[in-house]
């Protein structure tokens, strides 16, 4: 093998990384990037990564490329397109922990990336590979965050970014990013699954590089989320990593990362990967709990958590593999549970977008009444928050005002207002007369309600 190759996840045929290719030519399955890793001494490598944090070289500053020994496909560092990305916080979330019934919970917040989601971790490697291949145009279908990230990285690299988004079904803030970063933004009639099929058709046999998570180079960058998390924990492996699942690229990347780290001797055990889907967009859950878990059950996806509104997830087999490697599980949670969990993450002063909150909702469910899978109160759990709280302010404000409807569809078009959600942890703005006395009265009442003495 050259330093890196593409390998079919099913029949293990190998292909060169010099060609744009997304599926096995023999069996049509997804590809992995595989390496002859340049790793001799795991402890020395950990020290080297730690030392790079003192460096100002952009590829050391990046929270993806700092770990480049684990993603050595780029041939030459001059090909690397970095913002920089990664370097996201790992923080304690005590209110969220108590809400879920855990003693302690850490969240790794991928929303603190340059365009506000973990898609940046994957886009830096995807666009770098586009540059290795000499491509000038890149394309993706998106529920919003992939397009925001790709638009930014394509422009940074001087490439044309082409984005296919479902008309009126992505959060407004995400659409605004795609426009602002200069991508050609195509609004497609139909949902994400339709846009995904179209973009595969469009990019076949033309010089446009496809940058959905179908592309294995995307997943290589997303692997480093696990590496960074482990480094932040001093390489103490958690019992469990909980991650929202949509098109299932991220959970797939986490599985590959943990397996490689284990095989290379950087960790001595594997955390269980627990994937959480929204109940109206739960094809993996349906599949795993069916009598034929080797055949994908597709669904017509429906959820307000638009980032995971996917009915035919491209990477489901890799996600299933990640579950098998790590003894993991998949759960599904309802719209009310997602909305309330999101508000609790907000009360920790952290915040996230709706899709991210499925992680906390899923933990709570598995602590309280896990049947097939149970989370223990004492478990060491890390939840991955996938996107920033400002990604979907419309949802957040509606929740707090008590105007969120499971059937209220988009920012640009109201399809119907039915299935109202409870504003369980709502924090309504208070209308108050503009006088000192009136304002202070409200303040003292609220302080008393919260048991806080204004000293
Ligand atoms: C893309 C995305 C997801 C889903 O990730 P997959 O890799 O498609 O499973 C979840 N949350 C947010 C915020 C996202 O942008």
For residue 35, the cross-strand partners are 4
C-alpha 386, offset from chain centre: 4
Predicted pLDDT of residue 190: 87
Longest dimension (CA), the chain: 76
* Model pLDDT for residues 368-408, shown as the tens digit of each residue: 987 788 999 999 999 999 999 999 999 999 999 999 998 75
At residue 416 the predicted structure's pLDDT band, cuts being 50, 70 and 90, is low
- CA 254 to centroid of ligand 1, rounded, Å: 13
Cα distance between residue 119 and residue 310, in whole Å: 16
* pLDDT surpasses 80 at 150: yes
Measure 155 CA to ligand 1 centroid, in angstroms. 22
Ligand 1, atom 2, residue with closest C-alpha: 307
Cβ of 355 below 6 Å from ligand 1: yes
The finding on whether 248 has its CB within 6 A of some atom of ligand 1 is: yes
Q: How high is the pLDDT of residue 205? A: 85
Q: Please tell me the distance from the alpha carbon of residue 237 to that of residue 108, in angstroms, as a whole number.
A: 14
Is the CB–ligand 1 distance for residue 353 below 6 Å? yes
Residue 356 CA: nearest ligand 1 atom is: 11
Residue percentage of the chain with pLDDT more than 90: 90
Q: Give the residue-averaged pLDDT of 113-129.
A: 98
Mutate which of 285, 318, 322, 387 for ligand 1 pocket (most atoms within 8 A of beta carbon): 387
Q: In degrees, to the nearest 5, what angle opens at C-alpha 380 toward C-alphas 377 and 384?
A: 110
* Residue carrying the six token digits 């492996």: 237
- For residue 1, pLDDT over 80 is answered with no
Q: Whose CA is nearest to atom 4 of ligand 1?
A: 246
Rounded Cα distance between 384 and 273, Å, is 11
Residue 235: band (very low, low, confident or very high) from pLDDT cuts 50, 70, 90: very high
Q: What is the DSSP string of 361-398?
A: HHHHHHHHH-SSS---TT--EEEEE-B-GGG-HHHHHH
Query: How does residue 2 score in pLDDT terms, banded at 50, 70 and 90?
Result: low
Residue 278 near ligand 1, beta carbon < 6 Å: no
Confidence of residue 433 (pLDDT cuts 50, 70, 90): very high
Report how far ligand 1's centroid is from the alpha carbon of 306 (Å): 9
Residue in 110, 246, 345 to alter for ligand 1 test, most ligand atoms within 8 A of Cβ: 246
**The model scores a pTM over 0.85:** yes
Ligand 1 contact, 107 CB (< 6 A): no
Grade residue 411 by pLDDT with cuts at 50, 70 and 90: very low
Q: Is the pLDDT of residue 128 over 70?
A: yes
SS3 208: strand
Q: Is the CB of 88 under 6 A from ligand 1?
A: no
- Each residue's pLDDT tens digit, 42-96: 999 999 999 999 999 999 999 999 999 999 999 999 999 999 999 999 999 999 9
Residue 178 · residue 207 · CB < 8 Å: no
Mean pLDDT, the chain, whole residue set: 95
Instruction: For residue range 173-226, list pLDDT tens digits in order.
Output: 999 999 999 999 999 988 888 999 999 999 998 999 999 999 999 999 999 999
Can you spell out the DSSP letters for 210-267? Answer: E-STTSHHHHHHHHHHHHHHHHHTTTPPPSEEEEE-SSSHHHHHHHHHHHHHHHTTS-
**From the alpha carbon of 386, which atom of ligand 1 is closest?**
13
């Amino acid at each position: 093998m050259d330093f890196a190759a593409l390998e079919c996840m099913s029949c293990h045929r190998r292909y060169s990384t010099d060609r744009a290719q997304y599926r096995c030519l023999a069996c049509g399955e997804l590809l992995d990037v595989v390496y002859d890793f340049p790793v001799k001494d795991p402890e020395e490598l950990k020290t080297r990564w730690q030392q790079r944090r003192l460096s100002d070289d952009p590829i050391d500053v990046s929270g993806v490329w700092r770990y480049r020994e684990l993603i050595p496909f780029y041939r030459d560092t001059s090909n690397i397109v970095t913002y920089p990305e990664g370097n996201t916080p790992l923080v304690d979330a005590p209110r969220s922990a108590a809400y879920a019934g855990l003693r302690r919970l850490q969240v790794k917040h991928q929303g603190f990336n340059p365009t506000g989601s973990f898609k940046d971790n994957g886009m830096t490697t995807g666009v770098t590979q586009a540059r290795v291949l000499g491509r000038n145009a890149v394309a993706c279908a998106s529920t919003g965050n992939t397009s925001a990230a790709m638009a930014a990285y394509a422009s940074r690299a001087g490439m044309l970014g082409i984005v296919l988004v479902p008309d009126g079904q992505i959060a407004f803030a995400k659409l605004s990013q795609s426009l602002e970063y200069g991508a050609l933004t195509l609004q497609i009639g139909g949902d994400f699954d339709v846009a995904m099929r179209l973009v595969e058709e469009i990019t076949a046999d033309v010089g446009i590089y496809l940058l959905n998570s179908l592309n294995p180079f995307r997943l290589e960058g997303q692997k480093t989320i696990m590496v960074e998390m482990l480094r932040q924990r001093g390489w103490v492996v958690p019992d469990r990593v909980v991650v929202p699942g949509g098109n299932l690229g991220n959970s797939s990347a986490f599985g590959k990362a943990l397996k490689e780290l284990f095989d290379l001797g950087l960790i001595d055990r594997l955390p269980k990967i627990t994937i959480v889907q929204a109940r109206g967009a739960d094809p993996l859950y349906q599949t795993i709990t069916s009598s034929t878990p080797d055949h994908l059950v597709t669904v017509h996806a429906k959820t307000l958590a638009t980032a995971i509104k996917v009915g035919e997830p491209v990477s489901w087999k890799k996600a299933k593999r990640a579950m098998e490697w790590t003894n993991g599980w998949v759960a599904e949670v309802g719209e009310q549970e997602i909305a309330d969990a999101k508000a609790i993450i907000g009360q920790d002063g952290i915040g996230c977008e709706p899709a991210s909150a499925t992680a906390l909702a899923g933990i709570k469910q598995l602590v309280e009444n896990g049947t097939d899978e149970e989370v223990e109160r004492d478990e060491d759990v890390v939840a991955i928050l996938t996107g920033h709280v400002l990604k979907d302010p419309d949802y957040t404000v509606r929740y707090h005002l008590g105007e969120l409807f499971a059937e209220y569809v988009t920012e640009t078009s109201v399809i119907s207002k039915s299935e109202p959600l409870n504003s369980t942890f709502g924090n309504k703005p208070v209308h108050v007369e503009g006088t000192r006395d009136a304002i202070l009265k409200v303040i003292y009442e609220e302080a008393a309600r919260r048991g806080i003495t204004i000293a």
